[in-house]
Amino acid sequence: MKSLREKNNKSILKKYKKVNKSKILIIYTGGTIGMITDYESGSLKPFDFNHIEQEVPELKKIPYQLDTLFFKNPIDSSNMNHEIWVKTARLIEERYNDYDGFVILHGSDTMAYSASALSFMLQNLDKPVIFTGSQLPIGVIRTDGKENLVTAIEIAGAKKNGKPIVPEVAIYFEYKLYRGNRTTKLNAEHFEAFTSFNYPILANAGINIDYNYSKILRPSSAPLKVHYNFDINVGILTLFPGISKKYIEHFFAMPELKGVVLQTFGSGNAPTERWFISILKEAISKGITILNITQCKKGEVIQGRYETSKELAKIGIIGGKDLTLESAITKMMMILAEYSSPETIAKELVKSYCGEIKEE
Ligand code: ASP
């Protein structure tokens, strides 16, 4: 195992020799998985990844070449943002040809956002990028971190007929592999922290790892193309019964607002009151993109199914079908940075980039 530490933008390289099988790069961004308890203060602090094999001796038995690269200042994932997505994607792009797969260690709180964002950034992916983390620090006896880490590595290096089995951005957590951009954090306490409501799991880890081959994306034959631009002039508006005109007016008055993910009821329904519709209509006429997704965890938006969503379609609100909130907002940030024509933006938002949305 070799370990690379970011230092003044350079990396210190420590070389270890191992059997030349799959080569995996583990990138530690922060989060509970890389924490140990500081016995003096009692609080959690990141441990030194140079000594990961002391914490997880099981890694020595994995027949892959493992290298680690860790952020100089690991973050709690509540501090995640588009700049760190860019940094992470750049680390992958720069080393893309040197590795067979990548494991991203990340706090679970915003992991579904980062996995969604990276899935859109890393276009034409033909290697696994597997996110994982844990609910308990790796230095704690009952940690879920060891199993998550070891199996995520195994999946990142798994090949069939010489080709990676999972050439997509995925999340591995508590025996299950999910498509990253279909995943949502569901539980703040249980080890089973994630779920994917609208797409089947990609693999289940028991005695063997059972891959759901037909549900896994095929590798791209085009070269990797990384998308680095995001427009953060976006917002999420969650409707609730009794929502006031004042609240919605204030929301849309945000200077430079370019896009809104509107979280509606059921299959995409919203109030039919005139004032509500006219605020939305005015926003659209000013060039603000509005994408309708449902507050329901499962199911999809079908604008026009009920009277209460017909008007939304009529005024130009885009139906986001079964996109998760995490996918909807990260995809919108990316599409708005890329395109300016409202017709193209609408088309791109509902097009499947990497299996994040139901296809017709
Ligand atoms: N607050 C932590 C984070 O998201 C929780 C975790 O690591 O799972 O960074």
Note down pLDDT in tens along the chain; length 360 residues.
666 655 543 333 334 434 458 999 999 999 999 887 777 887 777 777 777 888 889 999 999 999 999 999 999 999 999 999 999 999 999 999 999 999 999 999 999 999 999 999 999 999 999 999 999 988 888 999 999 999 999 999 999 999 999 999 999 999 999 999 999 999 998 999 999 999 999 999 999 999 999 999 999 999 999 999 999 999 999 999 999 999 999 999 999 999 999 999 999 999 999 999 999 999 999 999 999 999 999 999 999 888 888 999 999 999 999 999 999 999 999 999 999 999 999 999 999 999 999 987
Give Cα separations from 182 to 197, 256, 315 (angstroms).
7, 29, 28
Q: Which residues line ligand 1 (CB under 6 A)?
A: 30-32, 76-78, 107-109, 133
> Given this chain, do its domains 3-226 and 234-349 carry the same CATH topology?
yes
CATH number of 3-226: 3.40.50.1170
- Give phi and psi for 329, each to the nearest 5: -75, -40
Mutating to test ligand 1, I would choose from 28, 29, 32, 189 the residue with most ligand atoms within 8 A of its C-beta, which is 32
Q: Yes or no: say if 27 and 88 are a contact pair by the CB < 8 Å rule.
A: yes
CATH number of 234-349: 3.40.50.40
Atom of ligand 1 nearest to the CA of 75: 9
pTM confidence score:
0.93
DSSP assigned state of 86: H
Query: Whose CA is closest to atom 4 on ligand 1?
Result: 107
Distance 64 CA to ligand 1 centre (A): 27
Would you list the domain boundaries of the chain? 3-226, 234-349
Query: Whose CA is closest to atom 8 on ligand 1?
Result: 108
Known catalytic residues are 32
Distance 137 CA to ligand 1 centre (A): 10
Burial 178-210 (b: 16+ CB within 10 A, else e): bbbbbbbbeeeeebebbbbebbebbbebeeebe
Distance 31 CA to ligand 1 centre (A): 4
Q: What is the pLDDT of residue 15?
A: 40
Q: Yes or no: say if 125 and 167 are a contact pair by the CB < 8 Å rule.
A: yes
Q: What is the pLDDT of residue 11?
A: 38
Atom of ligand 1 nearest to the CA of 193: 8
